[in-house]
Each structure stands twice: as C-alpha cells, then as structure tokens.
Amino acid sequence: MNLKISNLLHRKLFWLIILIAASVYSLTLGVKDFSLLGLFTRNGEDIKLAIISRFPRLISILVTGASLSISGLIMQTITDNKFVSPSTAGTMEWSRFGVMIAIMFFGGEAKLFKMLIAFICSLFGTLIFMQILQTMKFKNAMIVPLVGMMLGNVISAITSFIAYRFDIIQNMSSWLQGNFSLVIKGRYELLYLGIPFLFIAYIYANKLTIAGMGESFSKSLGVNYKAIVLLGMVIVAVITSTVVVTVGSISFVGIIIPNIVSMMMGDNLRNSLPVTALFGALFLLICDMIGRVIIFPYEISISLIVSIVGSIMFLALLFRRKKKWSTS
Amino acid sequence: MIAVRNITKIYGDKKVVDSVDLDIPKGKIIAFIGSNGAGKSTLISMICRTLKKDDGEVYIDDKELKDWKSNELSKRLSILKQSNFLNIRLTVRELVSFGRFPYSKGRLNDEDIRHIDKALEYMGLKELQNRYLDELSGGQRQMAYIAMVIAQDTEYIFLDEPLNNLDMKHSVKIMKVLKRLVGELGKTIMVVIHDINFVSCYADYVVAMKDGKIIKQGDTCQIIQSGVLYDIYGMNIDVQNYCGKNICLYYS
C-alpha cells in the first residue's frame, strides 16, 4: 500500500492533475460572486471578471512559482550548493536596487525600463557573488549562502538609504513584499518575458548539470564551463527581475522546491527541471489560496504565508540534510 | 601520440613546471611520481588543458592544444581529477551516461547505451547503477567516475591520484581495470600515484619529477631501483624482489 502511494507521488501526471484542479478552484476564490459555468454560458460579468482579474492572477502565480523555483535550481546547480537561491545570493536585492534606480531616473511608469535595469543590476550582483565564491577557500555549505545574504543586506541597505534620500520609499515598499492582489490585466504581462528563458534552461539542462559537476568534469566532457555558468546566471537574472518588477520579491520558494525535488529524483536537470517548475507553481498557488481564505473577505499577503510555510519546511529540510551528513 | 615541448607554469616567481619536454609512449600505463609539490599534477593538468600553460606546446596527435576543438578533444582525451567529491545528486547510471555527452549531446542512441552498459559491467557496477552517488562509499564512487571515463571511450586517459583515500581492495580493483583497459582496448593511461608499490606492480613506464623538472623516465624496472629512487625522493628506499615483483620498503 505504501509503495503504491509513493509510486503515485512520483508520477508527474498525478501532480499535473492536482495543479490543474487547484488552478480551476482558485479561479472561484474571491470576493465577487463568480461562477465557472458563466464562462461557458457566456455570462458577460463572469467573463469580464475572469479576464481582468482572476486569470491574470492565476497565471502570474503559476509563472512566478515556476520561475522562482527554476532560478533556485539553476543557481544551486552552478554554485554546487543546496542553499543558494535568488533570495540568498543577493539577486533579488540587486534587482530591487535596479528598480529603485529606474524609478529615480525614469519615474514609476516605464516598466520595460525598470525590468531592463533590474536585470542588469541582478546579473551584475550575481556575477559579484560568483566572483567572491571563487576566491573563497573554504566553501562550507552554510557559509556560501551567508555571504550571499550579507551581500544582499548591504545592497538592501543602500537601496533604502537612497530611496529615503529621494523620497521614493513609498514607491519602493511595494517591491519589498511580493503581492498578487494588485495583479490585473495590463499589469502582469511582463512576466511572460521570462517564459522563453525557462525553455532555454531546459534546452541547456544537460550542460547545466555538467557545469554543476565542476570545472574539470566540464573540461573533460568538452563543455565550456564559464560560458554555461554565465548563461545560467543570465537566465536567473532575467526571470528574477521579471518577477521582482511585476510581483515583488518572494523568498523561500527558490530554496525549498528544488531541494524537495532533488531528494525525490536527484539533480539531473533534464528530469528535475519540469518537475521543479510544476511543484513551484503548485506550492505558490496553494499558499495564495490559503492567504485568500483565512480571513476572507480580506487577504493575507502571499509573502507572509510563503514565509511561514516556507520557513517550517526549510527547517525540516535542514534537519534532514544534517542527519544525512552526520551518517555519511 | 602526445608530445610536450618546453612547457612551463609559473606561480609568482616560482617555476612549478620548468620547461619540460616529454614524449608519452602509446598503449601503456604511464605513472607520474615524485614528492609533493614536484609538479606532477600541474604538468598533467596542463597537458589535458584543465590548467593554462604559461609557455610551451602540447601536441595531441600532432595537433597543438589550441588548434583542437574542445568537443573533438573530449572524444580523444578524458580527465579525472583528485578530490572529485560531487554534491550533485546523480545516479551511477546518469553519471556514466554523461560520459557519452561528447558524442550524444544528451540524446543517447543505441551505441551510447551499449557503451554505458559495457562501462558499468567493466567496473562491476551493474547492481549499483540506479543508486545515487551520495549513497555510495568513497571507493564505489571512484569506481563510478572511472566507469564514466570508460564510457567516454577516449584514447588518452588522465587520472590524478585515483587511489587517493581508497582502501586496498578498491585500489587493486582500479589498477586491474586500468591494466585491462590498456591490454584489451589499447588505451594510453597517464596516472599520478603516490604509492610506489602500485607503480612498481602495475605501471609500464614511469616519469619521475622533482622541482618542476623531469629527472628520470623509463620502463618501470629501470626506475624502481634504490639508487634512482634516492635521487627522486631523497630517502633511502630498499627494493626487494618478491615473487617476481619489485617491492619498495620505505617504512623505516
């Protein structure tokens, strides 16, 4: 019996069905009365509501969940460290720094500009992080993310300081916490920009895995290590900054989801990448639904829910890994 | 054929490898020996392009390293470095499959799968093929890496201290496989080994280094001699013939 359940849990199809069911259900959640049937009977009100608010919200959650967990997976692969992700390597903070710069010089409206500058800053920041990693002699599993977080905090402090000075702190605070309640048609489409990069990640999955085996393995197999690591960082920077600009930053997703998938099916990205995307989307969707239901008709910010659920899962992961280390 | 000309590596103002010339004979196990810091690993790292050389040339089959395309070269020459503990969670079979990457680019065809199966069999890893590397012992893991190199099916194989941290059983197993690879498949294997008795029992040819230079090279029986070993290591090593093998006694 137990075996049957674990078999089921390893089926991608099973999880896909759950994701679809949860997605459909999430469409019905909300203050305004809404009936799924209305979409088929062409009820004007229902269709309007779906197009303006419910669908954008659902899609942005799914894309964000998939993007963040894949960013985490790529970073963990190329740094060879299970605790590195956009939120522990400073990538998100750099991205926010970029948003701040963009607001300062171009005002709050030019979204594509914001995205571009956020991308440049997060790529730059991730490069610095990788450079520091290379000069570090002892790459302790815990020290690496600590360095990243310290770097992130420094950048965060600089961002806040400048934002205070130029009186744009209110403008900025909406990027501090991820939030899907403001997502409506016309405000989330930038997220689509990240999707092609998810596919690029899949195309290069084998090379990214080889890069994760280290420089000498890569050389031996004829893979250009530096180029692949750079490609991985560009992918991470693009998808992280699309998320930060449209939704805001959400932590933990990028660490927990790839770690769970890694335990289930290993680190061969060819296999684990699609599953990571699926789990990330599902995880964020469930957190969002919890946030919308608990104090209905009000809602709790998703980053709060993710932080609570995420930190508990993170601790569980930490203890599990520790147990494994001490026995090996 | 691998030919090395005037190859040099400088760290700071110290020449770690100092204008070395070397012709590596084909179809043999070639052992690189010498004290710590003699430049063995640096030399073979430069030959197999994992380390940039500061001067000199390396010719692989009459073509200089820089004229080789990386992917083409990875079908001729494979490398296994010391201290290759991987954090990455792969099964043994997945790891060995990556050995076919230079040929398959990730899309394994029937020939690739045949090579993978053969490599697993060669190393006796068939039963462990679906286990994750982090669940294996150090010895089994090293066997898996070597299986990967076998699957890569290159003419030249570089192994940097493959016996490091292994017990005797796995060490002997690995050396026997290397011997088979040379005998049955005609590979050329360059290996850095510290245990001189393994060199004496398994290597065909020895290159001895000291202070960044090659001070002696030749067939194993010419090198494993008290006087020669004294020049290499600066210590008295008694060599005894036991059952037709030269055994070095350096424990007292």
Of A172-176, A292-296, B180-184, least confident by mean pLDDT is A172-176
Taking any CB pair shorter than 8 Å as contact, residues of chain B touching chain A are 48-50, 70-75, 78-81, 84, 86-91, 94, 98-99, 101-102, 105-106, 132, 134, 149, 152
CATH architecture of B2-220: 3-Layer(aba) Sandwich (3.40)
What does the CA dihedral B95, B97, B99, B102 come to, rounded to 10 degrees?
A: -130
**Distance between CA A158 and CA B176 in Å, rounded?**
61
| Amino acid B84: pLDDT | 58
Tokens 């941290």 correspond to B165
Q: Name chain B contacts of A212, Cβ cutoff 8 Å.
A: 88
Q: Name chain A contacts of B72, Cβ cutoff 8 Å.
A: 222
The nearest CA of chain A is from the CA of B227 a distance in Å of: 37
What would the DSSP string read from start to end of A131-192? Answer: HHHHH-S---TTHHHHHHHHHHHHHHHHHHHHHHHTT-HHHHHTTTS--STT--TTSSGGGG
Contact A94, A245 (CB under 8 A): no
The nearest CA of chain A is from the CA of B222 a distance in Å of: 32
Residue A63 has pLDDT above 90, yes or no: yes
- Distance, C-alpha A130 to centroid of its chain: 19
The β-bridge relationship of strands B188-192 and B156-160 is: parallel
**Distance between CA A304 and CA B133 in Å, rounded?**
37
Cβ <8 Å between A216 and B74: no
Where does the pLDDT of residue A187 fall: very low under 50, low under 70, confident under 90, or very high at 90 and above?
Answer: confident
Q: How many CB pairs under 8 A join A and B?
A: 75
- Which one-letter amino acid corresponds to residue A283? F
Q: What residue ranges in chain B does DSSP mark as E strands?
A: 2-11, 14-24, 29-33, 55-60, 63-64, 77-80, 156-160, 188-192, 205-210, 213-219, 238-242, 245-249
**Distance between CA B3 and CA B59 in Å, rounded?**
5
Contact B40, B81 (CB under 8 A): no
**Distance between CA B30 and CA B20 in Å, rounded?**
16
Domains in chain A with CATH codes:
2-323 (1.10.3470.10)
Give the pLDDT confidence of A264-319 residue by residue, as tens digits.
888 999 999 999 999 999 999 999 899 888 887 788 888 889 989 888 887 887 78
Residue B242 has pLDDT above 70, yes or no: yes
Cβ <8 Å between B84 and A223: no
**Distance between CA B60 and CA B141 in Å, rounded?**
30
Where does the pLDDT of residue A106 fall: very low under 50, low under 70, confident under 90, or very high at 90 and above?
Answer: confident
Of A177 and B195, the structure prediction assigns the larger pLDDT to B195
Would you call A30 helix, strand, or coil by DSSP? coil
Average pLDDT in the A135-148 region? 79
The nearest CA of chain B is from the CA of A82 a distance in Å of: 9
- Which one-letter amino acid corresponds to residue A142? M
Length of chain A (residues): 328
As beta bridge partners, residue B17 has B9
Q: So where are chain B's domains? A: 2-220
Q: What are phi and psi of A291, to 5 degrees?
A: -60, -30
| A223 interface with B at CB cutoff 8 Å | yes
pTM of the model: 0.88
Cβ <8 Å between B88 and A224: no
Q: What are phi and psi of B242, to 5 degrees?
A: -135, 115
As beta bridge partners, residue B3 has B23, B59
Contact A317, A257 (CB under 8 A): no
A229: CB partners within 8 A, 6+ apart: A78, A130, A211
CA B212, B215, B216, B217 torsion-angle sign: positive
Interface probe for B, chosen from A219, A225, A269, A320 (most Cβ of B below 10 Å), is A219
Average pLDDT in the B3-22 region? 88
A124: CB partners within 8 A, 6+ apart: A94
| A202 interface with B at CB cutoff 8 Å | no
Give the pLDDT confidence of A220-273 residue by residue, as tens digits.
898 999 999 999 999 999 998 888 888 888 888 998 999 989 888 889 999 999
Q: Determine whether B110 is exposed, middle or buried from the number of CB atoms within 10 Å of its CB (0-12, 13-18, 19+).
A: exposed
Of A182 and A216, the structure prediction assigns the larger pLDDT to A216
Give the pLDDT confidence of B85-108 residue by residue, as tens digits.
677 889 999 999 999 999 988 888
What would the DSSP string read from start to end of A38-65? Answer: HHHTT-HHHHHHIIIIIHHHHHHHHHHH
Q: Which residue of A has its CA nearest to B51?
A: A216
